[in-house]
Chain A
């Protein structure tokens, strides 16, 4: 029993580590890309059709990769960046790169839904493009962005289980290696329960944050 507890808590920590940092990097990469997708599209504040469609295609290609394949394709890149392609830290790179295009699309969609009249009003008052982005578009779209990022985190939890194949550890890995391959049902059950609790907690927090923002409007 004590052994299970240790196994599960170490794995939980690894999962949290992977998910936290890959979410962070996915937002750092994906969010600005999403803003670019929105502002350069046909109806955006600074339409750049060629740039927009090139960026859009790249993001679609990245999103089409099944995560397992993406992980393998990125092995040399991960090794170049970190000196190793194995371990918990190493999985953060493929996880971030898998989630970034998702964050970009979510951000783009959220920004596209901002009423164009509001942007027109901001422009008529003499806002610069940068002011429109950080004072109008992003604050207006924030509740949708937050609920999209909640989705991203939950996706990353399930992706992180696959990252176990790179020796990344984490709850998914634990469930497969101990629970499935060694028939230790107790470990598997514990790992799955922790994942369920984690997903529920993140969904709860995300929904709450979104609602809190909306209730002030």
Chain B
């Protein structure tokens, strides 16, 4: 289901946690919302998932306004949403299977149907043999799998993931992301992932929006944002994932130009073409490649020496060949 946010605003005491956020989330995709701690991610997801009402603005699910529903309709609407959390938030008084049964119980599903559905959901997340396991006996990854099974038991249209992988180790994070991607396709879900980890966005999301101090500073397709980040916040996030051994440095110095290769440019001999075409010299300081699910993005940190006129010609030519250039100030 398509989600639309219109000028959302939420203030707690004197802090404006969400400030004038408008966002269109297409259906049947994985949409990431990234921000540092305190950027207002959790507040935003609480507004989107109808746990809180905004001070201003509106939330639409598939064209229907849902932020101002009367109590009964609000509860009915929440039953069409799944949500998973950083701390799993499973019921410790229930077994894994009974946790999955909960959302079905509260909307009055017949017992036989609940039993069938619980088995089916646990199988989907690969825990069919742990139905009667107490929650405390499960590992973090297994807990999140139970939480996913619980969130999706009622076959919702939307799944919100609030820092769902932040408490997990890297390997478990990967397996949970793979599971979410797989289930998203199987169930045609609209998944909204709130995170502070750029690798989660890189590995799982199709779109991303960057949140800073309660405001959206940048949004678009993940591959485009990776190739051509517009704000310092986004660049910092991307730098964090790149430092993960993907960037090779030849020197401690940094050059003044950052090149981002997108599309099919990594296949072309761009650098030697420049050297032939223009009267400039290159010095490469660092380079790397980032693997997005369906595309690779290359990075290069270089110095270009030559006359200002030639340099601006080079930049123009690079941009024309879908290499984004960003010049370091100062």
Residue of B nearest to A124 (CB): B83
Which residues of the other chain, B, contact A115 by a CB distance below 8 angstroms? 87, 89
Chain B nearest CB from A122 CB (Å) reads 8
Chain A residues near B326 (CB-CB < 8 A): none
Residues of A within 8 A of B79 (CB): 125-126
Interface-side segment among A134-142, A146-154, A167-175: A134-142
Q: 1/0 contact trace for B42-84 toward A, CB 8 Å?
A: 0000000101000000000000000000000001111111110
Contact A125 B134 (CB under 8 A): no
Q: What is the minimal beta-carbon distance from B50 to any residue of chain A, in angstroms? A: 8
Closest to A143 in B: B93
Main secondary structure of the interface of A (DSSP, over half): helix
Which residues of chain A in 56-91 are interfacial with respect to chain B, using CB atoms and an 8 Å cutoff? none
Contact A216 B134 (CB under 8 A): yes
Contact A121 B134, beta carbon cutoff 8 Å: no
Report which of A118, A126, A142 forms a contact with B76, defined as CB distance below 8 A. A126
A163 to B106, CA, bound (A): 46
B135 on interface, CB distance cutoff 8 Å: yes
Q: Are B89 and A128 in contact (CB under 8 A)?
A: no
- Which residues of the other chain, A, contact B26 by a CB distance below 8 angstroms? none
Whether B89 pairs with A118 at a CB distance below 8 angstroms is: yes
Q: Does A120 contact B (CB under 8 A)?
A: yes
A-B pairs with CB below 8 Å: how many? Answer: 69
Beta-carbon contact of A140 and B92 below 8 Å: yes
Pair B106/A126 contact, Cβ less than 8 Å: yes
Q: Which residue of A lies closest to B92 (CB)?
A: A217
Chain A interface residue count, Cβ-Cβ cutoff 8 angstroms: 20
* Pairwise interchain contact B135-A128, C-beta atoms closer than 8 A: no
B275 CB–A CB distance under 8 Å:
no
B265 smallest CB distance to A (angstroms):
44
| Contact A125 to B78, CB < 8 A, known contacts A120-B51, A131-B106 | yes
Instruction: Tell me if B's interface is mostly helix, strand, loop or mixed.
Output: mixed
A217 partner, pick from B83, B106, B135, B154, beta carbons under 8 A: B135
Q: Which of B80, B85, B105, B135 is within 8 Å of A121, CB to CB?
A: B85
CB contacts under 8 Å to B, within A98-142, are: 115, 117-118, 120-128, 131, 135-136, 139-140, 142
Cα of A100 to Cα of B134 in the assembled complex, Å: 33
The reply to whether A117 and B134 form a contact with Cβ atoms under 8 Å apart is no
Q: Which of A118, A124, A217 contacts B78 (CB 8 A)?
A: A124
* Residues on the A chain within 8 Å of B91, using CB: 118, 122, 136, 139-140
Asked if B270 is at the interface of the complex by the 8 Å CB criterion, the answer is no
Q: A122–B85 Cα gap in the complex (Å)?
A: 12
Is the C-beta of B312 less than 8 angstroms from some C-beta in chain A? no
Q: How far is the CA of A198 from the CA of B89 in the complex (A)?
A: 40
Chain A residues within an 8 Å CB radius of B103: 125-126
- What are the residues of chain A within 8 A of B106 when measuring CB–CB? 125-128, 131, 135
Check A125–B87 contact: CB distance below 8 A: no
Asked whether, in the complex, the Cβ of B51 is within 8 Å of the Cβ of A139, the reply is no
4 more CB-based (< 8 A) A-B contacts, given A117-B85, A124-B51, A140-B91: A118-B89, A121-B85, A125-B81, A139-B93
Q: CB within 8 Å of A: which residues of B?
A: 49, 51, 75-83, 85, 87, 89-94, 102-103, 105-107, 134-136, 150-151, 154, 160
Closest 3 CB pairs of A and B: A126-B79, A126-B78, A121-B89
